[in-house]
Structure 1
């Protein structure tokens, strides 16, 4: 009798789970953007969320959760229920923060095992931006000045070990210079600080600064990629300028580990729909960051390789309080 009851309970549980997954989504979905409005994750997340809403038939609602270079929001996503109603729009700081926590000797805000990659949306080299009224016309001007005045030139970031901090440290290591790091809660506040003269430079995704470059307020000296930037074709790479510095700021969707496979596949399809939606492509391209979509299998490999490479970079940066 007990076995029959247990079997019946199991079948009922499986049937309920199957029904829940087949009816997914039955309510609004939260997309955590682990930075304040105005940065790359927000610029990408909003049009993607709108397109996914159309495909899923339920609202995908942005929740900006800034702080700790994205770590607070990513930690919140990692701890969310694996039911498909919380997704994360992460940036490449995802690959850095757990290693940084280890270097600092503190409990990690999340583990890589706690989040599952779904799709990459963009992957841009960051750009070195200064005010248009600054004395630096080229990256060589910038580096030579930094060598003459160690620690005097400062730069802003979205937080320690974040996507705006790491590339500047890579440049400093390769150019043999020392700058002062000023962390903010996100790319948006850092760019505002640059515009207002509180800081001297930022490394950010092109989308975050392009409008200010077009308006004549900022100047971009170089980028951390290879070849030409589609949105800024006249800007040289750091490699072309003689510095072996390379870094890509990517954005991508994740879900909490343990999210049922049928739900993962549904979100995967919605992400693909969004990445191929012309409205999304236009919005992101006009912001200065073209869509470079990767589906789940390729994105999983991409993230794994990035995690390994960034671990070495963080160890070279060392402890930053």
Structure 2
């Protein structure tokens, strides 16, 4: 080596006192690199201020109820306000656009859903304000709100799903069905049903489920593939008749309603709601949110409250939810193309 740091004495190598300087310099270079390879990234303190929880539907529905339950739990657990902010409009895309464009710091989260993050982007790809997958960090799927195919019993004589299909084939294009708007899960669900059964009905779109349900009860329309959380109470009172449920299995809250797939091969819809954050939110924050919300969803009391509102609890991991987002976006893109559903 140069610099006079060592010399040979017989068969031994003797280091001068300058060796200590060389060692200190070497350690100064090596230790930071070694530490960086093994140290965990710093986890920011979170939360240290109020969190805004955007709900892209009006107050009072199943998604709003789920969000308020979660917000109350997080606020109690963490000691920071979690403020629910309802921003409905354009098939939930107004509210979720707010989430997509927010700072990725964990202080704005949203209750995404199948309409905002899968169906509507497929129906309106040229004008959609965000990428339904890339612009979000999946946190956890909260629950599924099954659809129930319901009819006005005063207008439709069918008492079972096979009878209903036969009645539709005998009266092609004569019956009408309502939805909460073009591109909604209600709209797509009935279009899928008609595609699978080779039947046809006239679509009547409404600005929300409430006015649609009013007309269905009043006989202005004949049927709907409505959210169970909305229509099930009307079924229980006998004002509507339930013919089938959209999930592959019977629901605990409606054990006597058979899956539509039992009569219509290949039919299944699982309208979901899940917590999301803006893309780029630190993984540590996403994990903290996911862990706490999943723990809350596992509580028996939570499951009971959700079931009473027509919600099937899920509580998936962030990775599982992210995969669902990708799969659902691809599924509905193909379905919209196959059925020719258009924005109205």
Runs of 4+ in 1 over 6 A off after TM superposition: none
Task: Tell me: CA distance 1:71–1:150, structure 2 relative to 1, closer, same or farther (3 Å).
Answer: farther
- Note the 1:301-316 alignment, pairs <5 A: 301-316=323-338
Q: Which has the larger radius of gyration?
A: 2
What is the deviation of 1:124?
Answer: 4.5
Unaligned runs of 5+ in 1: 1-17
Task: Tell me the alpha carbon deviations over residues 115-156 of structure 1, each in whole angstroms, 9 at most, x when there is no partner.
Answer: 111101112442112234342322233323333333332222
Contact kept, 8 Å, 2:217 with 2:239, in 1: the verdict is yes
Task: Tell me: CA distance 1:257–1:155, structure 2 relative to 1, closer, same or farther (3 Å).
Answer: same
Contact kept, 8 Å, 1:157 with 1:203, in 2: the verdict is yes
The total of aligned residue pairs comes to: 300
Task: Tell me: CA distance 1:152–1:109, structure 2 relative to 1, closer, same or farther (3 Å).
Answer: farther
What is the deviation of 1:247?
Answer: 1.0
**Bigger helix share:** 1
Aligned to 2:142: 121
Q: TM-score, normalised by structure 1?
A: 0.85
Aligned to 2:92: 70
Matches of 2:107 and 2:175, distance apart in 1: 44
Q: Say what the alpha-carbon RMSD is for the aligned residues.
A: 2.3
Task: Tell me: CA distance 1:261–1:292, structure 2 relative to 1, closer, same or farther (3 Å).
Answer: closer
Question: The residue matched to 2:225 in structure 1 has which SS?
Answer: strand
Q: Which has the higher contact order (CA 8 A, sep 6+)?
A: 1
Unaligned runs of 5+ in 2: 1-41
Pick from 132, 154, 160 the counterpart of residue 133 of structure 1. 154
Matches of 1:258 and 1:89, distance apart in 2: 17
Aligned to 2:12: none
Between 1:45-54 and 1:306-315, the stretch displaced more is 45-54
Task: Tell me the alpha carbon deviations over residues 139-198 of structure 1, each in whole angstroms, 9 at most, x when there is no partner.
Answer: 233323333333332222232222111111100111112222222333344334423434
Task: Tell me: CA distance 1:288–1:303, structure 2 relative to 1, closer, same or farther (3 Å).
Answer: same
Is 1:98 matched with 2:118?
A: no
Is 1:47 matched with 2:99?
A: no
Is 1:109 matched with 2:137?
A: no
Q: TM-score, normalised by structure 2?
A: 0.79
